[in-house]
Homo-oligomer: A and B are copies of this chain.
Amino acid sequence: MELQEAKDKFIHTWGTLATQWGINRTMSQIHALLLLAPEALNADQIMAELQISRGNVNMNLRDLMSWGLIFKQLLPGERKEYFVAEKDIWKVARQIAKERRRREIEPIKGTMEEIQNELVPDTEEKKEVLKIIQEISQVTNFADSTVDSLLKSKESWLISSFLKLFNH
């Protein structure tokens, strides 16, 4: 397999996967492209590489920055803005988990709590409904706090590795 073929295959697979997860295809393709790029790229290069419009590139670059997955890089003597991806994949995973939790898990927790606080269990059916909702809350909280713990332990693992560097 040649380099370009491998890159294309990766970018394509990444984009397809993203679609299934409710993430815009172009956004993930740009992300994949930057992950594999040996140096920072500018908008024109991304346009050319993925054959997409300037507006589309701009929009998705901003989205990726808001997810904390890529960063602007200003090269000396260049007016164009360049972009690099965070290449530490653990950080990437952590960042994605953090963002999705903020954007998706937290709102559903809110609704569940609202119903639990305001629905009075004065009939059998209301009790049943509350039971289901409570169980969903439990699973959600469990998933949430598990992800949280794992991310925190990875973080502290990274920090401790980092600190060790200075103890040598």
Interface residues of A (CB under 8 A from B): 1, 3, 6-7, 9-10, 13-14, 17, 19-22, 35-36, 38, 87, 89-90, 92-93, 103-104, 107-108, 111, 114-115, 118-120, 123, 125-126, 128-129, 132-133, 135-136, 138-139, 142-143, 145-146, 148-150, 152-153, 156-157, 160, 163-164, 166-167
Q: Distance in Å from the Cβ of A39 to the closest Cβ of chain B?
A: 10
> A104 and B149: CB pair below 8 A?
no
SS class of chain A's interface: helix, strand, loop or mixed? helix
Partner of A21, one of B13, B21, B38, B118: B21
- State the copy count for this chain: 2
> A111 and B145: CB pair below 8 A?
no
> B135 and A160: CB pair below 8 A?
no
Q: A93-B143, A138-B89 are in contact. Are A20 and B160 (CB under 8 A)?
A: no
